[in-house]
């Protein structure tokens, strides 16, 4: 009898510990069912972004303009889902980045003994007194008013007085943003696997690094050294984030554009106009900051989000063409006039008629109708940076699935190797160059009065 009860107990324990119909690893009667995945986070629509659904289209112009001698290869490609900003990044939105950098520098100096020396502005230990990686305390407001003499001097250290006008201004030359970027795609390449010190020829790797020189200037340099660990794929960048407001003078010689230089970025009247004078490097830094800003706000909820980035050339073109190879303009038709006789974008119809569309330079975002998926100004207004490196070979260098050509030129590389693709044309371009299938290029360190940008974010599918 005792043997009978012992056998019954063993059988009961076996089924209760996973041998029954549903065990802890998800088995049903010994069948393969997979590991339980739990609840998959259903990503909400990001603020002011539109979902661009995956699609296939013919990338590049379907017809060549013989007058301009443009020869861009076409290719059938497919692109996965991604979120895209409804509009180009505005002056108001970019100022949020500039002011965040300003406030972070002030907080850093508030904690610095050489300035205010208030250690409350930097957290160095947790609530239990254990040391943590030092980071700024954003919960303490900056004392813009009713401050001490030391705090006032710390704040003023980031401002200058114009020697002629006497105007107190933010010193844009000090607004430097430092970030690190891990190149996971490069690190995944097979040539870096199982590398050991066995006496074979070492694999050389290029690593970008940056520092502030004693005179306050930014030094970005590329070092080449034997590959040793995955830390070699961590690149460091320091970028001055203030837009080049002088682009309005330097882009157009013998023009009376001083008013734009003084007002376009600083005057609230231009708050909802697209930001210009921003280089590719600054636009990339903005994406990194925007990712940091979002992830810090959702980290307490345990939510993981994909990073913001510039769109690839293929993503941008898919979005502008509303997913259809037949659309050479975002609005679908082959002409630039709507049925009511008005222009459908902010561009130059020709012969210096910049104001024919009611705007002499840029227009406030959302001034024209969006395309079929809800994106504004995908033609004209300002041309837009993409993440894609420029090559005359175009999409022939890219895969036909999520196409991208990425090339990181070293700091001492010749200028022609530092060009990036810009798309969409601008307020100064004619009808040909605002077509969705056309492309142009610009040097990555140069800001122009006719180039802006918008961000994208890869969509992670949920389980609805």
Is residue 321 situated within a structural domain? yes
Closest CA to 42 of 337, 305, 234: 305
Q: Are residues 165 and 291 in the same domain?
A: no
Residue 444 CA to residue 274 CA, distance in Å, equals 19
Mean pLDDT of 81-96: 98
More confident residue, 194 or 33: 33
Please identify, among 151, 175, 199, the residue that sits at the C-terminal boundary of a domain.
175
pLDDT tens digit sequence for 27-59: 567 899 888 877 666 788 899 999 999 999 999
Q: Are residues 167 and 306 in the same domain?
A: no
Q: Are residues 351 and 288 in the same domain?
A: yes
Task: Give the pair of three-digit tokens for residue 313.
Answer: 């050339």
Given a cut of 70, whether residue 196 has pLDDT beyond it is no
Strands 451-452 and 383-389: parallel
Mean pLDDT of 285-313: 90
Mean pLDDT of 78-98: 98
Please identify, among 133, 157, 175, the residue that sits at the C-terminal boundary of a domain.
175
pLDDT exceeding 90 applies to what percent of the chain? 65
Is residue 214 situated within a structural domain? no
Closest CA to 51 of 42, 39, 38, 60: 42
More confident residue, 110 or 203: 110
pLDDT bin (cut points 50, 70, 90) of residue 351 is confident
pLDDT bin (cut points 50, 70, 90) of residue 330 is very high
What pLDDT does 13 receive? 45
Contact present, 422 and 386 (Cβ < 8 Å): yes
Q: Are residues 328 and 430 in the same domain?
A: yes
What pLDDT does 26 receive? 53
Average pLDDT along the chain: 88
Task: Give the pair of three-digit tokens for residue 370.
Answer: 């969006």
Compute how many other C-beta atoms are within 10 angstroms of the C-beta atom of residue 45: 10
Is residue 436 situated within a structural domain? yes
pLDDT bin (cut points 50, 70, 90) of residue 423 is very high
What pLDDT does 138 receive? 93
Least confident stretch, 17-31, 90-104, 149-163, 288-302:
17-31
Given a cut of 80, whether residue 444 has pLDDT beyond it is yes
Q: Are residues 167 and 74 in the same domain?
A: no
User: For the CA atoms of 322, 326, 331, 337, what is the dihedral angle to 10 degrees?
Assistant: 170
pLDDT bin (cut points 50, 70, 90) of residue 176 is very high
What pLDDT does 16 receive? 45
What pLDDT does 68 receive? 54
Q: Are residues 143 and 290 in the same domain?
A: no
Q: Are residues 166 and 284 in the same domain?
A: no
pLDDT bin (cut points 50, 70, 90) of residue 11 is very low
Is residue 35 situated within a structural domain? no
Closest CA to 449 of 91, 36, 141, 168: 91
Q: Are residues 352 and 414 in the same domain?
A: yes
Please identify, among 154, 175, 196, the residue that sits at the C-terminal boundary of a domain.
175
Residue 376 CA to residue 47 CA, distance in Å, equals 15
Q: What share of the chain is helix, strand, coil (3-state, %, to 5)?
A: 25, 20, 55
What pLDDT does 216 receive? 82
Distance of CA 387 to the CA centre of its chain: 8
Residues near 12 by Cβ (< 8 Å), separated by ≥ 6? none
Map tokens 């379907």 to a residue: 62
Given a cut of 50, whether residue 23 has pLDDT beyond it is no
What pLDDT does 414 receive? 87
H helix or E strand, kind and range, residue 262:
helix 258-263
DSSP conformation class of 296: H
The pTM for the full model equals: 0.90
State the angle between helix axes of 149-156 and 91-111 in degrees (0 to 180), rounded to the nearest 10.
Answer: 140
Q: Are residues 340 and 368 in the same domain?
A: yes
Is residue 127 situated within a structural domain? yes
CATH number of the domain enclosing 333? 3.90.1580.10
Given a cut of 90, whether residue 412 has pLDDT beyond it is no
Given a cut of 80, whether residue 303 has pLDDT beyond it is no
Is residue 212 situated within a structural domain? no
Given a cut of 50, whether residue 393 has pLDDT beyond it is yes
What pLDDT does 299 receive? 77
Q: Are residues 83 and 111 in the same domain?
A: no
More confident residue, 199 or 41: 41
pLDDT bin (cut points 50, 70, 90) of residue 21 is very low
Q: Are residues 60 and 166 in the same domain?
A: no
More confident residue, 217 or 435: 435
Task: Give the pair of three-digit tokens for residue 226.
Answer: 């034997």
pLDDT bin (cut points 50, 70, 90) of residue 179 is very high
Is residue 224 situated within a structural domain? no
Long-range contacts of 246-251 (CB under 8 A, 24+ apart): 246/277, 247/276, 247/277, 247/447, 247/448, 247/449, 248/277, 248/449, 251/448, 251/449, 251/450
Residues near 195 by Cβ (< 8 Å), separated by ≥ 6? 203, 227
Least confident stretch, 44-58, 141-155, 220-234, 426-440:
220-234
Given a cut of 50, whether residue 464 has pLDDT beyond it is no
What pLDDT does 20 receive? 45
Provide the domain limits for residue 84: 51-90+275-458
The dihedral of CA 385, 389, 392, 393: what is its sign?
A: negative
What pLDDT does 5 receive? 47
Query: Domain total for the chain?
Result: 2
pLDDT tens digit sequence for 254-265: 999 999 999 999
Contact present, 349 and 431 (Cβ < 8 Å): yes
Q: Are residues 315 and 365 in the same domain?
A: yes
Long-range contacts of 40-45 (CB under 8 A, 24+ apart): 40/462, 40/463, 41/303, 41/304, 41/460, 41/462, 42/462, 42/463, 42/464, 43/305, 43/459, 43/460, 43/462, 45/83
Is residue 16 situated within a structural domain? no
Least confident stretch, 50-54, 62-66, 344-348:
62-66
pLDDT bin (cut points 50, 70, 90) of residue 199 is low
pLDDT bin (cut points 50, 70, 90) of residue 305 is confident
Given a cut of 70, whether residue 282 has pLDDT beyond it is yes
Mean pLDDT of 409-422: 88
């Amino acid at each position: 009898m005792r043997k009978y009860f012992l056998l019954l107990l063993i059988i009961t324990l076996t089924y209760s510990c996973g041998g029954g119909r549903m065990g802890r690893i998800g088995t049903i009667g010994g069948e393969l069912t997979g590991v339980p995945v739990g609840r998959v986070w259903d990503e909400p629509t990001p603020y002011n972004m539109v979902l661009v659904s995956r699609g296939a289209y013919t990338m590049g112009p379907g017809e060549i303009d013989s007058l301009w001698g443009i020869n861009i290869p076409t290719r059938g490609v497919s692109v996965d889902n991604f979120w895209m900003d409804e509009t180009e990044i505005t002056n108001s939105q970019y100022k949020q980045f500039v002011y965040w950098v300003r406030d972070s520098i002030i907080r850093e100096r508030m904690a610095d003994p050489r300035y205010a020396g208030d250690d409350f502005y930097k957290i160095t230990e947790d609530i239990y007194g254990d040391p943590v990686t030092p980071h700024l305390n954003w919960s303490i407001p900056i004392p813009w008013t009713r401050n001490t003499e030391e705090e006032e001097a710390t704040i003023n250290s980031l401002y200058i007085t114009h020697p002629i006008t006497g105007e107190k201004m933010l010193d844009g030359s000090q607004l430097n943003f430092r970030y690190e970027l891990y190149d996971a795609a490069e690190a995944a390449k097979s040539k870096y696997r199982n590398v050991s010190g066995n006496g074979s020829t070492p694999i050389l790797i290029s690593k970008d690094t940056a520092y502030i020189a004693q005179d306050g200037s930014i030094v970005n340099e590329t070092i080449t050294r034997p590959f040793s660990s995955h830390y070699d794929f961590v690149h460091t960048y320091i970028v001055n984030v203030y837009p080049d407001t002088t682009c309005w003078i330097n882009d157009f010689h013998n023009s009376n554009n001083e008013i734009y230089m003084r007002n376009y970025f600083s005057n609230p009247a231009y708050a909802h106009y697209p930001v210009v004078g921003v280089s590719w490097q600054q636009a990339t830094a903005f994406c990194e900051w925007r990712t940091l800003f979002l992830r810090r706000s959702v980290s307490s909820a345990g939510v993981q989000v994909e990073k913001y980035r510039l769109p690839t050339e293929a993503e941008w073109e898919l979005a502008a063409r509303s997913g259809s190879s037949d659309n050479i303009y975002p609005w679908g038709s082959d002409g630039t006039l709507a049925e009511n006789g008005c222009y459908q974008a902010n561009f130059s119809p020709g012969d210096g008629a910049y104001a024919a569309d009611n705007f002499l330079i840029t227009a406030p975002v959302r001034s024209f109708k969006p395309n079929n998926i809800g994106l504004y100004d995908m033609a004209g207004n300002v041309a837009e940076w993409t993440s894609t490196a420029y090559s005359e070979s175009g999409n022939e260098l890219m895969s036909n699935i999520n196409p991208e050509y990425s090339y990181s030129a070293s700091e001492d590389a010749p200028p022609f190797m530092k060009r990036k693709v810009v798309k969409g044309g601008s307020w100064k371009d004619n009808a040909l160059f605002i077509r969705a299938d056309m492309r142009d290029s610009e040097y990555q360190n140069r800001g122009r009065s006719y180039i802006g940008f918008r961000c994208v974010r890869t969509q992670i599918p949920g389980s609805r």
